[in-house]
C-alpha cells in the first residue's frame, strides 16, 4: 500500500486490532467515507479498545467514548447540542458499536434515537459475538454458532437462537435509511456511508465483520468468508429507504455457494461436521439462507 494512502487515514494505523480483523477494515472504511467533518460517538468494545489506549489514539476526527450501552444517546446529545449552538451544518454525527452494544445492551438507546428522529448515522459492526470480552454469545450470533457462552455438548448444538432482525426492527421505527453491508466488500460500505450521510434523519448501517479469534478462522480468510456469507444468502446485503426495500446485492448464479462452504472454514461451526446429527443442522442453516434469497430477492 502506498505510504501517502496510509498517512491520510482518519482512523490511523498503529492500532492494536488482531491481524485480519474485519471490524478494523470496516471502521476505517466508514471513517474514510465519512470524511473529516464528522463527530463519532463510539460504544465500548473492541473498536474502542484497540484504537484508543491512552495516551495514543487512532482517531484523526473528533471522537468520544462514554459507555457500552449509550453511544446512540451520547450521539443524540451531540446532535442536539450542534443544532442549539448553530453548528449543525458544519459536521455530521455518527454513532457506532458492535453487535452486543447494538442488538443487546444498547438497543433501547438506539430505539430512542430513532424515534426522536435525530440526524445521526448509527453503524453496527456485526462480528456476531462479544469479541472484546472473549467471544460470548450476542443477539446477533447466528444459529448453532459456538461461543464461550453457547458451547456444544450432549444437550447443546451451540447458539440456540437465530439472529435478531435488527434492520427490520429499526426500519419499523421509521429510520429513513436502513442498510446492511460487509467488510467483504469495502466499496459497498463506502457507497452506503456516503449515501446515508447525504440523507437527513436517523439512519442505520449494519456491517458484517469477520472476527478472526471469535469465529476460529485463519487471519487471511476473513474477507473471503465474509464474501461467501453474502454469496450463500446467509448475510443478505440490502438497502431500505423509508421502510421499503430499494436495493439488494444480487448473487449471480455462478457465484452462488452452499452454506457448507461458509461453515466448514470456521471453528465455531466445526461441531456440525463431527457427528451425524450435524447434517440436519447444516440443512436448517441452508434453508435459512434459501429463505433470505427468497425474502430479499437476491437472485431474481
Partner 1 sequence: MREMMEGSSAVAESVALCRPKVVCAYPITPQTHIVERLARLHAEGRLDAGYVLAESEFTAASVVLGASATGARAYTASSSQGLLLMTEVIFNIAGMRLPVVMTVANRAVSAPINIWNDQQDSMSLRDCGWIQMYAEDVQEACDMHLQAFRIAESLNIPVMVCMDGYILTHATEPVDLPSAGEADSYLPPFEPRFHLTPTDPMTLGAMAGPDAYMEVRMLLHRSMQQAAGTIRQAAVDFHEMFGRYAGAQLDTYHADDAEVLLVSMGSLLGTMKDAVDELREEGHPVGIVKVRTIRPFPRSELHDALHRARAVGVVEKDISLGLEGILCSEIRSAFCGAAETPGISSFVAGLGGRDIRKEQIKEIALGLLSDNTCRVEVTGLDHEVLWRAHEEE
Query: Would you tell me which residues interact with partner 1 (CB under 8 A)?
Result: 36-39, 41-42, 48-49, 52-55, 57, 59-67, 69-70, 73-78, 80-85, 87, 90-91, 108-109, 111-112, 115-116
Beta carbon nearer to partner 1, 120 or 263: 120
Pairwise CA distance, residues 37 & 178, whole Å: 22
- Phi and psi at residue 187, to the nearest 5°: -65, -30
Beta carbon nearer to partner 1, 76 or 127: 76
Q: How far is the CB of 50 from partner 1 (least distance, A)?
A: 9
Q: How far is the CB of 126 from partner 1 (least distance, A)?
A: 22
Pairwise CA distance, residues 168 & 171, whole Å: 5
Q: How far is the CB of 43 from partner 1 (least distance, A)?
A: 11
| Nearest Cα residue to 126 out of 165, 159, 149, 100 | 100
Q: How far is the CB of 75 from partner 1 (least distance, A)?
A: 6
Beta carbon nearer to partner 1, 57 or 286: 57
Give, for 124, the enclosing helix (H) or strand (E): strand 121-126
Q: How far is the CB of 51 from partner 1 (least distance, A)?
A: 8
Q: How many residues does the chain have?
A: 300
Q: How far is the CB of 112 from partner 1 (least distance, A)?
A: 4
Q: CB 117: neighbour CB atoms within 10 A?
A: 14
Q: How far is the CB of 41 from partner 1 (least distance, A)?
A: 6
| Non-local CB neighbours of 157 within 8 Å, separated by 6+ positions | 144, 271, 272, 277, 278, 281
Going by the DSSP 8-state scheme, the letter that residue 253 receives in this structure is G
Q: How far is the CB of 162 from partner 1 (least distance, A)?
A: 26
Beta carbon nearer to partner 1, 69 or 128: 69
Quickly tell me which residue has 460517538 as its cell.
41
Beta carbon nearer to partner 1, 85 or 244: 85
Whether 138 and 104 have beta carbons less than 8 Å apart is answered as: yes
Whether 121 and 96 have beta carbons less than 8 Å apart is answered as: no
Three cell numbers at 155?
Answer: 444437550
Radius of gyration in angstroms for the set of CA atoms belonging to the chain, rounded to a whole number: 19
Whether 292 and 162 have beta carbons less than 8 Å apart is answered as: no
Pairwise CA distance, residues 129 & 136, whole Å: 6
Beta carbon nearer to partner 1, 61 or 223: 61
Beta carbon nearer to partner 1, 43 or 259: 43
Whether 166 and 102 have beta carbons less than 8 Å apart is answered as: yes
Beta carbon nearer to partner 1, 60 or 133: 60
Amino acid at each position: 500500500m502506498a505510504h501517502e494512502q496510509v498517512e491520510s487515514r482518519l482512523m490511523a494505523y498503529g492500532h492494536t486490532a488482531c491481524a485480519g480483523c474485519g471490524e478494523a477494515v470496516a471502521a476505517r472504511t466508514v471513517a474514510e467515507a465519512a470524511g473529516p467533518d464528522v463527530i463519532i460517538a463510539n460504544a465500548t468494545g473492541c473498536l474502542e479498545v484497540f484504537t484508543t489506549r491512552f495516551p495514543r489514539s487512532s482517531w484523526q476526527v473528533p471522537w468520544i467514548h462514554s459507555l457500552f450501552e449509550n453511544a446512540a444517546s451520547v450521539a443524540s446529545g451531540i446532535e442536539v447540542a450542534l443544532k442549539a449552538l448553530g453548528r449543525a451544518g458544519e459536521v455530521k454525527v455518527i454513532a457506532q458499536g458492535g453487535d452486543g452494544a447494538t442488538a443487546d445492551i444498547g438497543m433501547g438507546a438506539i430505539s430512542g434515537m430513532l424515534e426522536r428522529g435525530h440526524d445521526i448515522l448509527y453503524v453496527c459492526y456485526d462480528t456476531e459475538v462479544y469479541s472484546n470480552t472473549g467471544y460470548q454469545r450476542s443477539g446477533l450470533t447466528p444459529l448453532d454458532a459456538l461461543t464461550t457462552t453457547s458451547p456444544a455438548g450432549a444437550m447443546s448444538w451451540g447458539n440456540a437462537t437465530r439472529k435478531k432482525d435488527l434492520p427490520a426492527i429499526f426500519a419499523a421505527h421509521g429510520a429513513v435509511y436502513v442498510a446492511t453491508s460487509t467488510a467483504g466488500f469495502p466499496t459497498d460500505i463506502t457507497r452506503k456511508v456516503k449515501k446515508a450521510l447525504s440523507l437527513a434523519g436517523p439512519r442505520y448501517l449494519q456491517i458484517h465483520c469477520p472476527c478472526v479469534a471469535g469465529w476460529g478462522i485463519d487471519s487471511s480468510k476473513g474477507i473471503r468468508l465474509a464474501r461467501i456469507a453474502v454469496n450463500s444468502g446467509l448475510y443478505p446485503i440490502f438497502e431500505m429507504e423509508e421502510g421499503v426495500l430499494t436495493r439488494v446485492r444480487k448473487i449471480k448464479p455462478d457465484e452462488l455457494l452452499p452454506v457448507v462452504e461458509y461453515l466448514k472454514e470456521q471453528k465455531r461451526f466445526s461441531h456440525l461436521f463431527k457427528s451425524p446429527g450435524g447434517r440436519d443442522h447444516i440443512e436448517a442453516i441452508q434453508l435459512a439462507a434459501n429463505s433470505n434469497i427468497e425474502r430479499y430477492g437476491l437472485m431474481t
